[in-house]
Structure 1
Amino acid sequence: MTTTQRPPTLDPLAVARWQRVAPLASPWLHEEVASRMQDRLQWIKLQPQSWAHWGAVRGGLKAHAQLALKYPKSECFVAEVGAMRAQSAIKNIASPWWKPAGWGRQAVRFEAPPPAGVDMLWANMALHEAADPQALLAEWHQALRVNGFLMFSCLGPDTAIELREVYKQLGWPPAGHELTDMHDWGDMLVQAGFAEPVMDMERITLTYETPARLLQELAELGRNFHPARFPALRGRHWKARLEEVLATHLVKGADGRLSLTFEVIYGHALKAQPKIKVSALSAVSVQDMRAMLHDKRTKP
């Protein structure tokens, strides 16, 4: 893929459909990745006065509660895709005003971040499902104020590589859409205006007692967005055949459990001071001018 196009193997209609029907819950893997991403906050010196959680319902409700405890005095914004997820976020995150136990807790606003921007944008396990990732990165960049930072995670290309190989060997349509490498994400961050991107990755191997449990896990995490995927519905006979194939072809450990790899990419980047190209006639937005003036006043 090029970094100026949407992922070539991702069907945007399939993505939109999944966003409407995805379970209104945070998968176990998403919560685990969010916990590991929180460990990386120890290296961030900036204490945000405001922050935004992008996709809290699917990205990690437990993680949201932990972040709220970490930044109790910070203003928080929750941004969700679609009305159903927004309602679920309100139900699971907002503290009812009539319960004294919730008084004094961090205030949460269920809306887009303010025009002035926030100091931190947290987006866990969302980017690999974006039909237009550069547009999403640009939206995140716009949501941050100057010197604010982005924390995100997503799945990488080695995810479910065992399953992909089985489909390939049997001549079946692709098991899933291709995922983007962390170096390409780093390039796209720079193109979107971010500075000092730091990327790293790890592989998490999950094991399953049965093929049925493995397929259940995958169904909770997402769908096959590849345009060349099997175009029709599958029946019970197909599912039984698939479970039989997985039991035969997937790698098994010493305990006989089936193994599946998930490559997880972590990213961190800053929204730097805007660079204005000076010419005979230059146009500067009011927001950028304020940011530059504020930066000059705060420098020693």
Structure 2
Amino acid sequence: MPTERPPTIDPVAAARWHASAPAQSPWLHEEVARRMEDRLQWIRQAPQAWCHWDAVRGGLQGHALVSARYPKADCVVAETSFTSQGAAIQALDKPWWSPTRWTGGGTRVEMPGDGSVQMLWANMALHMAADPQALIAQWHRALAVDGYLMFSCLGPDTAQELRAVYADLGWPPAGHAFTDMHDWGDMLVQAGFAEPVMDMERITLTFATPERLLQELRELGCNLHPERFGALRGKRWRQQLLQALSDRLGDAGHGADKPLSLTFEIIYGHAFKPAPRVRVSPSSSVSLSDMRAMLRNGPVNE
């Protein structure tokens, strides 16, 4: 199980992307959010409060679906990018004079307090994090005991066709490596989550032109690999890329108008935050929220 930062993610590039990413929800993020929201039908206990982590990039249409499922629940939208924070306030935050802001079922754009929500929803964010274990730990702190995490991210088979094109042309990697779902499960357990359930599906998108394919990829993210191209590339390189994509990603049976296919592996994760199991020694320190949870659940016998 990995215990350090992903070796193929450049932290500086990741921070730069996070600060400058378009303040909008890509189509694929919205589609994944719709599929993840459908999985909430298996959750019996509705949360009193939930947190949407990076909602603008994760999907505002998906946010509306979850809000409609839990209309009485308070929602905290945690935007970690300044640009997206402004967009979230404009799209979601209730004005101070709105009754729903103070009487429940309202939405506020702010960071959640420790142990303050029963569900944390994080769509398509984890695979772009330079320190995913630190991010998972933040989610764990925000959740109340018996609360649960719902997240999705890209998996290792994503854009395998594009990676093959770059490799065949002898170019640096087309993108950083994405983490396997089993490693995500291990990291959840290490962070203190229990009963992680991981699932995966592949979505194939088709594009009419290589230009449209590249536009989609730019909206979804960028190459964070430390060994990516280190200099500017010119028109000749771009033309070579467009031609290679057209030749190698198309369906030969469609003639000149053949669509270009690209695979996206989507990983879904779900896990609970159990009551803390802490052995107290003279040098131990226990947070107030954890102590309250232990008292509510009684002593742990081992």
Contact kept in structure 1, 2:77 and 2:108, CA below 8 Å: yes
Instruction: Look up the equivalent residue of 2:158 and give its one-letter code.
Output: T
Contact kept in structure 1, 2:140 and 2:193, CA below 8 Å: yes
Cα displacement string for residues 152-211 of structure 1 (whole angstroms, at most 9, x for unaligned residues): 000000000000011111111000000000000000000010000000000000011111
Partner of 1:66: 65
Point out the more displaced range, 109-118 or 178-187: 109-118
Distance, in Å, in 1 between the alignment partners of 2:62 and 2:29 is 9
Instruction: Look up the equivalent residue of 2:42 and give its one-letter code.
Output: W
Contact kept in structure 1, 2:159 and 2:264, CA below 8 Å: yes
1:279: how far off? 4.5
Q: Does 1:56 align with 2:58?
A: no
Distance, in Å, in 1 between the alignment partners of 2:294 and 2:96 is 40
Partner of 2:146: 147
Point out the more displaced range, 47-56 or 109-118: 109-118
Cα displacement string for residues 191-244 of structure 1 (whole angstroms, at most 9, x for unaligned residues): 010000000000000011111110010010000000000011222222222101
Q: TM-score, normalised by structure 2?
A: 0.92
Partner of 2:265: 263
Contact kept in structure 1, 2:101 and 2:108, CA below 8 Å: no
Partner of 1:238: 237
> What is the 5 A alignment of 1:179-198?
179-198=178-197
Partner of 1:156: 155
Point out the more displaced range, 177-186 or 98-107: 98-107
Partner of 1:76: 75
Q: Unaligned stretches of 5+ in structure 1?
A: none
1:101: how far off? 11
Cα displacement string for residues 8-34 of structure 1 (whole angstroms, at most 9, x for unaligned residues): 000011111111221110000000000
SS at match of 2:293: helix
Instruction: Look up the equivalent residue of 1:272 and give its one-letter code.
Output: P
Q: TM-score, normalised by structure 1?
A: 0.93
Q: Does 1:176 align with 2:175?
A: yes
1:121: how far off? 0.2
Q: Percent identity?
A: 62
Contact kept in structure 2, 1:141 and 1:194, CA below 8 Å: yes
Contact kept in structure 2, 1:253 and 1:259, CA below 8 Å: no
Cα displacement string for residues 235-291 of structure 1 (whole angstroms, at most 9, x for unaligned residues): 222222210111112242644211100000000000011011255664432211101
What is the aligned-residue RMSD (CA, Å)? 2.1
Distance, in Å, in 1 between the alignment partners of 2:242 and 2:216 is 13
Partner of 2:216: 217
SS at match of 1:178: coil
SS at match of 1:17: helix
Q: Unaligned stretches of 5+ in structure 2?
A: none
Instruction: Look up the equivalent residue of 1:150 and give its one-letter code.
Output: L
Partner of 1:124: 123
